Amino acid sequence: MIERSHLGNVLAHLILIIGVVIICFPVYVAVIGSTHDATTIANGNMPLVPGGHFLENYYRILFEGTKSTTREPVATMLLNSLIMAMMIAVGKIAISLLSAYAIVYFRFRFRMVAFWVIFITLMLPVEVRIYPTYKVIADLHMLDTYTGLTLPLIASATATLLFRQFFMTVPDELVEASKIDGAGPVKFFFDTLLPLSRTTMAALFVILFIYGWNQYLWPILITTRDDMQTIVIGIKKMLAVVDALTEWQLVMATAVLAMLPPVVVVVAMQNLFIKGLTETEK
Amino acid sequence: MASITLRNVDKVYAGGVQAVRNVSLDVADGELVVLVGPSGCGKSTLLRMIAGLESITGGEIRIGERRVNELEPAERDIAMVFQNYALYPHMTVFDNLAYGLRNRGVPRAEIDRRVDEAARLLEIEPFLARKPRALSGGQRQRVAMGRAIVREPQAFLFDEPLSNLDAKLRNQMRIEIRQLQRRLGTTSVYVTHDQLEAMTLADLLVVMNKGEVEQVGPPLDVYERPASVFVAGFIGAPAMNLIEAKAVNGRLTAGSGALDLPAPAGVDTVRVGVRPEHLHFGSADGAGLTLGLTVDAIEPVGAETYLHGHLDGSPRTTLIVRVAGKSLIPPGTRIDTHAAAGDVHLFDIATGKRLPD
Ligand SMILES: Nc1ncnc2c1ncn2[C@@H]1O[C@H](COP(=O)(O)OP(=O)(O)OP(=O)(O)O)[C@@H](O)[C@H]1O
Ligand SMILES: [Mg+2]
């Protein structure tokens, strides 16, 4: 390593610290805001020190809901979002794994056609095909169901390409050794390929969980009942108050709560996630 | 244990490449057969066909009394050791060894017994709980062997199992493999492109060239009586000297000098082969071959010295003479050499086949 100058070190840290402050400040404001009562924020002075309503605000928002249009407590919304994000992440990983397995390890007619068809689904995200998709889901009576909420979002093999790339780096001899060891295609998949894909799956899970968690357009179309709402929509609805003050302290608390699960997922998966992006175990 | 029989086996790959052509071979029960040949000659293809990893385009393969053409690799009851070992990276050494047995429904106690026994035999007991990643190349090689042994199969198939090891370890493992195979008495087919490995391991040596079998025989027979120019040039290091000679008045001549050999009846030109260690200084007295050459370079390798030179009157015919110990002959010296008649091989120029003695 080249000896770094002291000044360079200080400068580098300064820039990093400024970056951290810029990113963290709004989060800090939200956390602080969620500990005050309604009038403090409504006065127009955003406080920068914690207030005394922390427990009260969080209890109310989690279990009672706001006075405005969304009467559902946030706990329900959190649960809905969690189920949706999980189903999307797990579902996408599952179908991507399977389709990549088929494409890499099996010789069948129209193999490349199948690959390209899967690939093209990447170019048709939900937003593009939203009207026909809505019609299909409505005709299947899947409005206000978890299936209706997640199926169209699962149905694109985002990660197929990634898994295909990964599978192609797995030495052929491993498949052959498995064959000789008496492991058929299913056994090879579960005993060898899945464990080897562990880190790749973890990395994808983090990315897809956040993708699912942040969904906005599709859930807003497909859910009509309050108890099916996701938290992202909940926040939006809390802001649209017609005849009363927006309860900002509750909005802030909801925002903070909405941030937590993705953070937990990232932190919990951090080790695997980084391994998945940087190293391969072969 | 079982014998392996190949009858007129052909392999044509999807692209139309004929990798193996009309190969017939009998491997007796308990025998170690080595397939040797240059890169791309179809050795691996042939081995993989025996293993069931490649389909068989034509002919028949039998293991024991069973025709195995249509059987899956697992049903053929063979075990294979791969060049890159192909250990399961996410499993411990123990699980690597046990996996094939578990898949076959071998009872737990029996698995433990066999793995322990193999681990003791190969001295890999201390590593049983480790992952392959945490092993050296030589240790991985042993684990790969262990995985084959625990299965107690009808046959072992080896595809260049030692080529990822350094020279010293390779020599050691070669000897161990030989001893192990003798001890277990398991029929084995071993692929290598290293002719030294082939010579030292084989009960039966199979020399392949361009998808076809050139010669089959015990290694020393192949060495002493190569059936073709190809085998003569491939087996033995340094390679056999090959000289194109003409028949003049019933005697052979090459370059500017007579070879002092009678020409075989009915041929105008012939290829004469003689091994570097069979050339001795001085001219022949009586029956034998005489070669005059000029030394161009000397190559001392310690216990012996190789003299590289060219034939009198034919600078493009290069020759090698093998001399025991050190040699003080300076480059540029002209020397006379001779070989006994029994050490001289004659090959047909056109077909490359050995002429009848
Ligand atoms: N899957 C394949 N498709 C088409 N041709 C192949 C395939 N595998 C091998 N070949 C060709 O078949 C021939 C024999 O290959 P093979 O791998 O058996 O050679 P080898 O004797 O094992 O060589 P090496 O010593 O380099 O391993 C080669 O010409 C090779 O290019
Ligand atoms: Mg090969």
Q: What is the ipTM of this complex?
A: 0.86
Summarize pLDDT for B203-234 with one digit per residue, the tens. 999 999 999 999 999 999 999 999 999 999 99
Q: Is the pLDDT of residue A171 over 60?
A: yes
CA of B88 to the centre of ligand 1 (A): 25
Written as six digits, the tokens of A232 are 């992202």
B340 CB-contact burial (10 Å; exposed 0-12 / middle 13-18 / buried 19+)? middle
CA of B153 to the centre of ligand 2 (A): 22
pLDDT given at position A88: 94
Written as six digits, the tokens of B354 are 């050995």
Q: Do A174 and B79 make contact, defined as CB atoms within 8 angstroms?
A: no
Q: Which residues in chain B have Cβ-Cβ distances shorter than 8 Å to A171?
A: 84, 86
Of A174, A181, A196, the CB nearest to B103: A181
Q: Looking at CA atoms only, how far is residue A201 from chain B in angstroms?
A: 15
pTM score: 0.85
The edge-to-edge listing of strands for the beta sheet with B66-67 is B18-27, B4-12, B58-63, B66-67
How far from chain centre, in Å, is Cα B177? 15
- At the topology level, CATH places domain A66-278 in MetI-like fold (1.10.3720)
Q: Looking at CA atoms only, how far is residue A169 from chain B in angstroms?
A: 13
Asked if residues B150 and B163 have their Cβ atoms less than 8 Å apart, the reply is no
pLDDT given at position A280: 53
CA gap B141, B144 in Å, rounded: 5
What are the phi and psi torsion angles at A249 (to 5°)?
-60, -35
At B285, the amino acid letter reads D
What are the phi and psi torsion angles at A138 (to 5°)?
-65, -45
Q: What is the CB-side half-sphere exposure of residue A4 using CA atoms within 13 A?
A: 9
Please list the ranges in chain B whose pLDDT falls under 50.
none
A129 CB-contact burial (10 Å; exposed 0-12 / middle 13-18 / buried 19+)? middle
Share of chain A above pLDDT 90, in %: 44
Which of A174, A181, A187 best probes binding to B when mutated, by most B CB atoms within 10 angstroms? A181
Among A59-68, A209-218, A246-255, B212-221, the range scoring the smallest mean pLDDT is: A59-68
Mutation choice for ligand 1 from B45, B84, B194, CB with most ligand atoms inside 8 A: B45
| Cis before B238 (ω within 30) | yes
Helix (H) or strand (E) holding B20, with range, is strand B18-27
Of B53, B88, B147, the CB nearest to A174: B88
Summarize pLDDT for B154-206 with one digit per residue, the tens. 999 999 999 988 888 899 999 999 999 999 999 999 999 998 899 999 999 99
**E strands, B199-313, in order:** 204-209, 212-217, 241-248, 251-254, 257-262, 269-274, 280-281, 289-300, 304-311
Q: Do A182 and B51 make contact, defined as CB atoms within 8 angstroms?
A: no
Q: Which residues in chain B have Cβ-Cβ distances shorter than 8 Å to A173?
A: 82-84, 86
Domain positions in chain A: 66-278
Q: Do A182 and B74 make contact, defined as CB atoms within 8 angstroms?
A: yes
At B114, the amino acid letter reads R
Share of chain B above pLDDT 90, in %: 77
Asked if residues B228 and B352 have their Cβ atoms less than 8 Å apart, the reply is yes
Q: Do B89 and A181 make contact, defined as CB atoms within 8 angstroms?
A: no
Summarize pLDDT for A70-106 with one digit per residue, the tens. 567 888 899 999 999 999 999 999 999 999 999 999 9
Of B52, B86, B90, the CB nearest to A177: B86
Across the range A150-174, mean pLDDT stands at 88
Q: pLDDT band for A156, please (50, 70, 90 cuts).
A: confident
pLDDT given at position A61: 84
CA gap A194, A183 in Å, rounded: 14
Give, to the nearest 10 degrees, the angle between helix A231-239 and helix A248-278: 150
